[in-house]
Amino acid sequence: MTIWLSGSVFLGWALGANDAANVFGTAVATRTVRFSTAAALICVFVVLGALLGGAGGMRTLGGLTDQTIQTAFITSFAAALTVTFMTTLSLPVSTSQAVVGAIMGIGLGVGKVDFGGLAKVIVCWVGTPIGAMLASIALYYLLSFPFNLISHNMFMANLILRWGFIIGGAWGAYALGANNVANVTGVFAGCGVMSPDAAALVGSLSICLGVVTYSMRVMLTVGQRLVALEPFTALVAVLSEALTVHFYAVVGVPVSTSQAIVGAVLGVGLLKGVKTVNVRVLVRILMGWLLTPAVSMLISCLLFLIFRSFA
Amino acid sequence: MLNAGERAVVPVRIFWGKGKEIEKRLGEYIREMNNCMKLFYDFCFAYLEKGCDEALREVNVAVRDAESRCDDIRHDIEHQLFQGALIPSYRGDIYSLLEAVDKVPNKAESTSDNISLQNVCVPDELKDDFRELLRRTTDCTLALSESLNCLFTNIRDAANLSKKVDELESAVDEHERMMIKKVFDMDVELALKMLLKELIIDVASIADRAENAANVLEMIAVKGKA
């Protein structure tokens, strides 16, 4: 069982290392929150999110095709390979899209794909940056009035923003756990070798491993991008990302937190009349959408065919 | 091991972060700057009254000490800012503001040093003009101090008060020009004229520096709104 789960644990590690930056990157990069505090908060809320809200995503991914423990391993291994391959080439990558691509590869191999479920997933992928953009515009209007009313001096504003980043980061971590844990161990819950709760626990703990061991450097890099924004605008972006990812966790479709944060930053940029995201970033996201599932599907399909010829 | 009192403070510190400490130290800085400026003006008025004697040199030392305390507080605040107190945008704002404001007591110290060392004899017909220049400069630095206090109350009020500093600085400039013209119309040696001109410019430049600091504060007030 441990060997079958190794691909998932590796995938969870990569997810934790990369995606923690989207929820706490700003606070850590600006030294508003210490990395150790941020890592502890992320771990607690990722596990909580996975246990309390991770079932929906697991049902969706589990229902896309029929899985056995062997194909579940191939799925997570192919997704992990894709994430590593794309990261090595500095190409944008989404774990959610890698996993769904890998499931599709297995689906093609066994000749069974739930196209209805797949359509729902694809609509959610497109809806992630757009939803985050709309959420950030709405939240900006909603929060700027009370913020201006209460934060009449710099120290009060500092207090509100500091706690805003901490609460927003914790919410983002909860949403990350609830939404993305299905990517890590959803296929194992889907094939019935693990209970959804056990899958959520193993998946979230492997995400935590990535957060604790490797996320600091990514946080500092990604966080700096948001630091260029005004503090209130950066907070709105973080909250919008959390809201969007949480929404899709409730819908039950794993989405990319990176694409959510880019959409949110684009939204507040539009409001402030500032070009926050350039065309190159948008082209890279589009490439990520197309390339990640395609590469992952190809790898998993090939691995499945090799496995079947030997089995 | 923390005692009971220290333990009680820990949750408050966690809630406020280092922001509360910066707020406290900034208040101390403004009070010390006011003290330094008061000592400087007392020194100048006393100098015009009776010239530079031993008692006045002690006031000069007090000005230097007050300026030195301002520097200590400023360094402490900057040290805390570099350690991550406040969010980055506010960190930069406070740093720029402190750098600009600190030029006011710095200039007061160097001017009082010059007066004490050079002991320039101010002609009687110029003394009232000097007192007026000092009064106008005092008004300007008091207005700066008032606008700095908006950091703790409502930063948006600082914009209006900064405009007041601008107006008062213009009044100082006007008086400075009039005085320099008057000095060069006087029948005194050229060396004394040059020393008097330098003294007038030194005192008036305190108001210039107050205006620069008020402008930095105004920028902070304008960008403070979400």
User: What residues of B are in contact with residue A143 (Cβ under 8 Å)?
Assistant: 226
* Residue A309 CB neighbour total at 10 angstroms: 7
Tokens coding B204? 């008036």
Q: What is the pLDDT of residues A160-215, one digit of tens each?
A: 999 999 999 999 999 999 999 999 999 999 888 889 999 999 999 999 999 999 88
Average pLDDT, chain A: 89
Q: Which one of B16, B20, B226 has the shortest CB-CB distance to A147?
A: B226
Helices A35-53 & A2-29, crossing angle to 10 degrees? 130
> pLDDT category, A39, cuts 50, 70, 90?
very high
Computed on alpha carbons and rounded to an integer, the radius of gyration of chain A in Å comes to 19
Give B221 to chain A, closest Cα distance, Å: 9
Report residue B95 as tokens: 């740093």
* Closest-CA residue to A101 (of A258, A295, A302, A253): A295
A16 contacts: CB under 8 Å, gap ≥ 6:
A46, A206, A207, A208, A209, A210, A211, A212, A214, A215
| Cβ-Cβ contacts under 8 Å, B17 against chain A | 32, 158-159, 162
Smallest Cβ–Cβ distance between B151 and the set A143, A153, A232 belongs to A153
User: Which tens digit of pLDDT belongs to each residue from B205-215?
Assistant: 999 999 999 99
- C-beta of residue A193 within 8 angstroms of C-beta of residue A69: yes
Question: Inter-chain contact A153–B86, Cβ cutoff 8 Å?
Answer: no
pLDDT at A287: 78
Length in residues, chain B: 226
Residue B90 has a CB neighbour count (10 Å cut-off) of 21
Chain A residue with CA closest to B17: the answer is A159
Range A107-122 average pLDDT: 91
Q: How many CB pairs (< 8 A) connect A and B? A: 65
Each residue of B91-125: pLDDT tens digit? 899 999 999 999 999 999 999 999 999 988 999 99
Q: Is B144:B213 a contact under the CB 8 Å cutoff?
A: yes
Q: Which of B22, B87, B226 sits opposite A32 (nearest CB)?
A: B87
What Å distances lie between residue B104 and B43, B88, B207, CA to CA? 16, 25, 8
Q: How much is the ipTM here?
A: 0.76
SS3 call for B38:
helix
Provide the residue type at A272 as one letter: K
pLDDT above 80 for B12:
no
Runs of H (alpha helix) within chain A: 2-29, 35-53, 55-62, 69-88, 95-110, 115-150, 154-190, 196-227, 231-251, 257-272, 279-310
B23 to chain A: nearest residue by CA? A155
Nearest chain B CA: its distance from A221 CA (Å): 16
Q: Kindly determine whether residue A153 and residue B220, on different chains, have CB atoms separated by under 8 Å.
A: no
Q: Cβ B220–A152 below 8 Å, yes or no?
A: no
Mean pLDDT, residues B158-172 = 92
Kindly tell me if the per-residue pLDDT of B25 is higher than 70: yes
Q: What is the mean pLDDT of residues A221-240?
A: 81
Kindly state the tokens that stand for A42.
């992320």
Work out the number of other CB atoms within 10 angstroms of the CB of residue A166: 18
Segment A286-295 shows an average pLDDT of 84
Q: Residue A93: pLDDT band by 50, 70, 90 thresholds?
A: confident
Q: Chain A: which residues have CB within 8 Å of chain B? A: 30-32, 143-144, 147-148, 151-155, 157-159, 161-162, 165, 227, 230-233
- Cβ A154–B88 below 8 Å, yes or no? no
Are B89 and A231 in contact (CB < 8 Å)?
Answer: yes
* Residue linked to tokens 């490797």: A214
Option in B88, B224, B226 nearest A154 (CB): B224
CA angle, B203 then B209 then B215, to 5°: 150
CB atoms within 10 A of CB B222: 13
> DSSP per residue over B96-131, as a string?
HHHHHHTHHHHHHHHHHHHHHHH-----HHHHHHHH
φ/ψ bin of B179: left (φ > 0), alpha (ψ from -120 to 50), beta (otherwise):
alpha
Closest approach of B81 to chain A, Cα-based (Å): 10
Inter-chain touch A153–B89, beta carbons under 8 Å: no
Q: Inform me whether the pLDDT recorded for B3 exceeds 80.
A: no
pLDDT at B225: 65
Q: In this structure, which amino acid lies at residue B217?
A: L
